[in-house]
């Protein structure tokens, strides 16, 4: 089983490499595509995204909405984790990316203790370097969540992360490589809930490898985003987080301060005002449907439905 999962990792890695190459050529993307290696012109917003579907959809929403208002936009292929794209924001390789308040705060300020939405947002504004800013946060929230199969939940009587502690030593945990060291990842779970897993299997950011790992039994618990369509599709169980290991994670535009003109701010704030948690779940479900629409198509549909096209 483990060999099968490793083979899948290799296959997906190869497919991802090809996909990134294809993105570089523009393809069917209505936005121009570019490398993250150089800064965009002063009159252009260079937009990046993380390496998971929801981030790519929101980035496409930002780009299409800005273009509709006459703002020059350049997009990059999916960059990767925060550990990769945050430095790109700092060195000017990109100007704008969809972010999540709680995890971003804890990435910048390792000892942050804020967990409630407004407190997290206020602390984040203070923690950012002077060259970056966050615009209006949305009500939409997508938290990291510890997820198990229905069978595992029944076997160990799991309803909350508190229930994990007696069973952790028998479980392999699966998630993206960075989750193993992030403050609210494995270190946070160990500190907050006294839970030390048998081992950690690096997979993807709540994507097909993680889902397959849970379904195949290669991992018994995993990090999956709370709005991911795979949770409902596979009848996975999200364990409650009563001690708030995971802080509020509201979607927010993170942008180079010099590029946050009144026009750009107005467009992005209007998007944030319309985004909801259920809306994020619906966007992910649409992207995961049998039709497999592109992030650009899903974004266009959302903008039209919300009167922002």
Q: What was the pLDDT predicted at 50?
A: 95
CA 243 – CA 116 distance, rounded (Å)? 12
Give the integer Cα–Cα distance in Å for 150 and 264: 45
Q: What is the mean pLDDT of residues 203-225?
A: 95
Report the candidate in 229, 243, 231, 234 with the shortest Cα–Cα distance to residue 281. 229
Same-fold call for 16-141+249-305 versus 144-238: yes
Which CATH number fits the domain 144-238, given the four candidates 3.40.50.150, 3.30.930.10, 3.40.190.120, 3.30.200.20?
Answer: 3.40.190.120
Average pLDDT over residues 189-213: 95
Residue 234 confidence (pLDDT) above 90: yes
Could you tell me the sign of the dihedral formed by the alpha carbons of 105, 111, 117, 119, in that order? Answer: negative
CATH architecture of 16-141+249-305: 3-Layer(aba) Sandwich (3.40)
Is 47:59 a contact under the CB 8 Å cutoff?
yes
What is the torsion angle, in degrees rounded to the nearest 10, for the CA atoms of residue 224, residue 230, residue 233 and residue 234? -50
Q: pLDDT by residue (tens digit) across 106-164?
A: 999 999 999 999 999 999 999 999 999 999 999 999 999 999 999 999 999 999 999 99
DSSP letter assigned to residue 250? B
Domains of the chain: which residue ranges? 16-141+249-305, 144-238
Cβ atoms of 258 and 265 within 8 Å: the answer is no
Q: Does the pLDDT of residue 244 top 50, yes or no?
A: yes
pTM over 0.85: no
Is it the case that residue 23 has pLDDT exceeding 60?
no
HSE-up (13 A, CA, CB side) for residue 18: 6
Q: Which of 5, 105, 91, 16 is nearest to 48 (CA)?
A: 91
């Amino acid at each position: 089983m483990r060999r099968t999962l490793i083979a899948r990792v290799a296959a997906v890695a190869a497919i991802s490499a090809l996909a990134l190459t294809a993105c570089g050529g523009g393809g069917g993307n209505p936005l121009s595509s570019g490398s993250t290696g150089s800064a965009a012109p002063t009159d252009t917003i260079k937009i990046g995204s993380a390496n998971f579907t929801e981030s790519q959809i929101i980035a496409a929403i930002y780009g299409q909405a800005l273009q509709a208002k006459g703002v020059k936009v350049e997009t990059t292929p999916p960059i990767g984790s925060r550990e990769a794209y945050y430095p790109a924001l700092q060195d000017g390789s990109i100007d704008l990316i969809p972010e999540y308040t709680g995890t971003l705060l804890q990435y910048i300020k390792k000892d942050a203790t804020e967990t409630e939405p407004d407190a997290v947002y206020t602390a984040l504004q203070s923690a950012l370097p002077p060259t970056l800013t966050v615009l209006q946060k949305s009500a939409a929230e997508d938290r990291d969540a510890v997820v198990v199969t229905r069978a595992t939940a029944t076997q160990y009587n799991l309803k909350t992360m508190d229930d994990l502690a007696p069973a952790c030593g028998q479980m392999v945990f699966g998630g993206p490589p960075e989750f193993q060291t992030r403050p609210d990842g494995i270190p946070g779970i160990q500190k907050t809930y006294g839970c030390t897993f048998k081992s950690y299997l690096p997979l993807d950011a709540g994507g097909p490898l993680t889902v397959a790992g849970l379904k195949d039994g290669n991992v018994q618990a995993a990090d999956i985003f709370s709005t991911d369509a795979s949770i409902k599709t596979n009848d996975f169980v999200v364990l409650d987080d009563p001690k708030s290991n995971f802080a509020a994670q509201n979607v927010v535009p993170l942008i180079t301060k010099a590029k946050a003109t009144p026009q750009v701010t107005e467009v992005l704030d209007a998007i944030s005002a319309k985004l909801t948690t259920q809306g994020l779940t619906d966007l992910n479900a649409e992207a995961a449907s049998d039709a497999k629409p592109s992030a650009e198509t899903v974004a266009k549909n959302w903008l039209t439905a919300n009167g922002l096209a």
